[in-house]
Structure formats: C-alpha cells, structure tokens
C-alpha cells in the first residue's frame, strides 16, 4: 500500500468534512451576517473548490501549482469574512466563514514539502485571520491565537508524517527489489550448480588426475569455479542513495583458487567512484603478484572497515621485493605500482604502505578514508 497516497486520500476526506462543517455554520448564522447573501456566495465557492480539489487529492496528490491556488482561494474565502460578518461578531471571536476548511492548504503544503513548507503555509493562512480580527476588534482574540498555533502544529506534524511516508515507501521498494534480486540469484545458483559448476568441478578433478597440460586446464577450471561460486553466493547488495556501492561485491571477482578474499559479513559501502578505484588498485596489486611471483603464488585479500577508514591488505607468498627494485622500476618507466596503485589511492585521500623482505613475501596496505 502506498502510504503517501493514503495520506492524500485522508486529506481529501478531511476537506469534504470541513466543507460540510463550514456549511452548517453558515446556514445557522447567515441571518445574523451583515450581508447574508455574501455568506452563501462564499459557501458556493468553497463547495465548488472542494469538488475540484478532492478529485486531485484522492487521486494521489497535487503539484505546487494546485497547492498555490488552493492557498490563494482558501485565504480569499477567509478574508471575505470581513465583508460578510459584522464587526461585533468578529470582535467577539466568532469563527470565520471557512472555519477549519482553511487548514487544508496548510496540510497540502506540508505533504508536498515537509515541515518547513507546512509551517510557512500555516503562517500565511494565520496572519490574515489575525489581522482581520485586529482590524475589526482592536485586539487579538485568544481563540484566534489558538487557531494559529493549531495550524502550525498541523503543518509540522503532517509534514513530518509525509516525509516519513516517503522514506518508508522508498525503503519498502528497495526491500522488494532486494528480495526479487535475491530470489533470482538463488534460482541462478541452483541452475548453475546443476550444470556449469558441476562441469567445472569435473574438469578440475580429472585434470589433476591426468597431469601435464590437463592439470593446467584443471587449475584454470578450478579458479573459474571458485570465482563463480563467490559471485552467486553473496546476496545482492542493496542500492543506497548517493551512488554507494558495496566494496565486497567488487573484490569478489578476484577470488580464485590462488586468491582468497576475506571481508566483513556486513556491507562495506563507499561512494561508487571510490569503491571502483580501490577495487582497481587491488586488481593491479594482484596482477603484480601474478607477474612477479609466478603461477604457483598465492595471495590473500583482507578488508577491514572501522567506520572512519576502509583498509584493504593484499599479501602474497612470493619471493618479496629486493632492495632497490621499486626505484629501478620507476627509473625504467615501469610505473605500475606508482600509478595503478599508489596514484589511485592517493587521489582518494588515502595512503599505501608496502611491507616486504626477500623470501618473506609482500604485503600492501591500502587505507582510504570515508568522505565526511
């Protein structure tokens, strides 16, 4: 159920009830008006405008143009009280011709724009009523002040409810989309398990048994099997406002029989660009492992999220980086580490630390701060 649409329908019903109440007041008091016919004219305008707006509101809402016209028409009907009523009645605090009907545009603006718009509309409606009483009565009536306070409270409360309704609707839509994506992922996982994954597992096993070139094919099949299982095993990530992405989903693509990816159980969300750049830096580090450490090298990727920063460590069991190797690579124009890794991380405001010694492997620690 659309909660915001339900609020608009309730507002349409309230307008009808408020119009009926105003009609009862005018019918019972018209003989005491300064211009009785004027009261019926104002009532006719109110009934016609109610019929016009109720259809739009019951249909799911209104735009700023209709809301502005509603505020203008309602305020005009309120000010017409000064031409129809007697000065004594206004000084005594008798309700204006519109009664609670004039509160509708305040609620309309509150639903459209939230608390601030609702409060502003309440002031725009309440001030003319206060001025009307002051011009005819010479002082502000307590009942009129109470009415302004109630208008302000109504604008604030309904504005908050409208914002809460929209937020709840968005959350519900995302939850439905997430459930749909998860069901589809589970269906694909079942189908792949019954076909592709079983074939890859068979190729890996038979390749290992046969040896030689078949063993290499089996190893490649095993890597693809691990990568495919990682792809379909994690539930679909929830898309967040602002273009955020779950870093875990981007790093899972690197998982294989030679690369182990370990990440928190909860999403590690970063702005889309930052997540993509950090994942690309990790990919460049793993490429270096493959190139410099040989086909039998293993690597481990560890993701840590402390709320303020995201740290990704890439460690391998290769021979390590000999002293002076990085400086020599920079002189020869081989800038893979400097540009692909360090450059990307520094552009995100982060740092890269390298820990290595001959024969003990290499570890890169990429630290990226969360934007504030």
Tens of pLDDT, residue by residue over 77-97, are 988 888 888 877 777 777 788
| Distance between CA atoms of residues 157 and 151, nearest Å | 10
Domain-ending residue, one of 153, 172, 191: 172
pLDDT at 137 over 70: no
- What is the rounded average pLDDT of the residues 28-54? 90
Strands 259-262 vs 299-305: parallel, antiparallel or unpaired: parallel
Q: What is the pLDDT of residue 20?
A: 93
More confident residue, 168 or 47: 47
pLDDT at 353 over 80: yes
**Residue 267 to residues 156, 171, 234, 263: CA-CA distances in angstroms?**
35, 17, 11, 9
Q: What is the pLDDT of residue 17?
A: 92
Q: Does a structural domain hold residue 29?
A: yes
pLDDT at 284 over 50: yes
Domain-ending residue, one of 126, 145, 172: 172
Place of tokens 């995302």: 174
Q: Does a structural domain hold residue 113?
A: yes
Beta bridge partners of 354: 364
- What is the rounded average pLDDT of the residues 49-64? 85
What are the pLDDT digits (tens) for 288-335? 887 778 777 889 999 999 889 999 999 998 888 776 666 655 555 555
Q: What is the pLDDT of residue 338?
A: 54
Whether 160 and 262 map to the same domain: the answer is no
pLDDT above 70 coverage of the chain, percent: 85
What are the phi and psi torsion angles at 358 (to 5°)?
-55, 130
| Distance between CA atoms of residues 125 and 145, nearest Å | 12
pLDDT at 224 over 80: no
Asked if residues 268 and 305 have their Cβ atoms less than 8 Å apart, the reply is: yes
Q: What is the pLDDT of residue 239?
A: 45
**Residue 18 tokens, joined:** 């408020």
Q: Does a structural domain hold residue 225?
A: no
Asked if residues 316 and 289 have their Cβ atoms less than 8 Å apart, the reply is: yes
Whether 168 and 62 map to the same domain: the answer is yes
Q: What is the pLDDT of residue 320?
A: 80
Residues in the chain: 372
Domain-ending residue, one of 115, 142, 172: 172
Whether 142 and 255 map to the same domain: the answer is no
Whether 252 and 370 map to the same domain: the answer is yes
| Distance between CA atoms of residues 56 and 64, nearest Å | 12
Whether 148 and 251 map to the same domain: the answer is no
pLDDT at 237 over 80: no
Q: What is the pLDDT of residue 16?
A: 92
Q: Which of 38-42, 77-81, 148-152, 259-263 has the lowest mean pLDDT?
A: 148-152
What is the CA 142 to chain-centroid distance, rounded? Answer: 43
Whether 24 and 168 map to the same domain: the answer is yes
Whether 32 and 129 map to the same domain: the answer is yes
Q: What is the pLDDT of residue 307?
A: 86
Whether 58 and 141 map to the same domain: the answer is yes
pTM score, whole prediction = 0.50
3-class state of residue 22 by DSSP: helix
Which residues, 6+ apart, have CB-to-CB distance to 186 below 8 Å? none
| Distance between CA atoms of residues 50 and 205, nearest Å | 76
Q: What is the pLDDT of residue 238?
A: 46
Q: Which of 63-67, 233-237, 252-256, 270-274 has the lowest mean pLDDT?
A: 233-237
Q: Across the chain, what does the average pLDDT equal?
A: 81
Q: Does a structural domain hold residue 346?
A: yes
Q: Residue 283: which CATH number?
A: 3.30.565.10
The pLDDT confidence band at residue 142, using thresholds 50, 70 and 90, is low
- What is the rounded average pLDDT of the residues 96-116? 87
Whether 145 and 280 map to the same domain: the answer is no
The pLDDT confidence band at residue 127, using thresholds 50, 70 and 90, is confident
Q: Which helix (H) or strand (E) holds 301?
A: strand 299-305
pLDDT at 235 over 70: no
Q: Degrees (nearest 5) of the Cα angle 256, 258, 264?
A: 60
Q: Which of 35-49, 125-139, 222-236 has the lowest mean pLDDT?
A: 222-236
Residue 318 belongs to domain spanning: 243-372
User: Number of folded domains in the chain?
Assistant: 2
């Amino acid at each position: 159920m659309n909660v915001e649409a339900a609020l608009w329908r309730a507002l349409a019903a309230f307008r009808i009830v408020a119009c009926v109440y105003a009609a009862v007041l005018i019918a019972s008091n018209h003989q005491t008006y300064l211009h009785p016919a004027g009261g019926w004219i104002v009532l006719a305008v109110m009934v016609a405008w109610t019929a016009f707006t109720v259809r739009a509101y019951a249909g799911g809402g209104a735009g700023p143009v209709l809301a502005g016209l509603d505020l203008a028409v309602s305020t005009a009907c309120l000010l017409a009280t000064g031409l129809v009523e007697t000065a004594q009645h206004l000084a005594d605090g008798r309700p204006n011709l519109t009664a609670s009907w004039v509160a509708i545009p305040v609620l309309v603006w509150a639903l459209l724009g939230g608390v601030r718009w609702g409060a502003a509309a309440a002031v725009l409606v309440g001030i003319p009523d206060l001025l009307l009483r002051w011009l005819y009565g010479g002082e502000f009536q307590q009942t009129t002040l109470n009415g302004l306070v109630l208008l302000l409270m109504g604008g604030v409360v309904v504005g908050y409810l409208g914002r809460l309704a929209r937020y709840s609707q968005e959350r519900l839509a995302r939850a439905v989309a997430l459930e749909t994506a998860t069901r589809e992922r589970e269906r694909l996982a079942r189908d792949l398990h019954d076909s592709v994954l079983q074939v890859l597992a068979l190729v890996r096993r038979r390749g290992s048994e046969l040896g030689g070139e078949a063993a290499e094919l089996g190893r490649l099949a095993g890597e693809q099997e691990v990568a495919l299982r990682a792809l379909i095993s994690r539930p679909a990530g929830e898309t967040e406002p602002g273009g955020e992405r779950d870093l875990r989903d981007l790093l899972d693509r690197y998982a294989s029989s030679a690369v182990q990816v370990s990440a928190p159980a909860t999403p590690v969300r970063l702005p889309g660009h930052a997540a993509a750049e950090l994942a690309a830096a990790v990919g460049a580090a793993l490429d270096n492992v493959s190139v410099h450490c040989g086909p039998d090298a293993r690597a481990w990727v560890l993701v840590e999220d402390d709320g303020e920063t995201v740290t990704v460590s890439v460690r391998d069991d290769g021979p390590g980086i000999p002293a002076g190797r990085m400086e020599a690579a920079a002189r020869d124009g081989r800038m893979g580490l400097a540009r692909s890794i360090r450059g990307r991380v520094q552009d995100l405001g982060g740092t890269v630390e390298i820990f290595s010694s001959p024969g003990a492997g290499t570890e890169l620690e990429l630290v990226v701060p969360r934007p504030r």
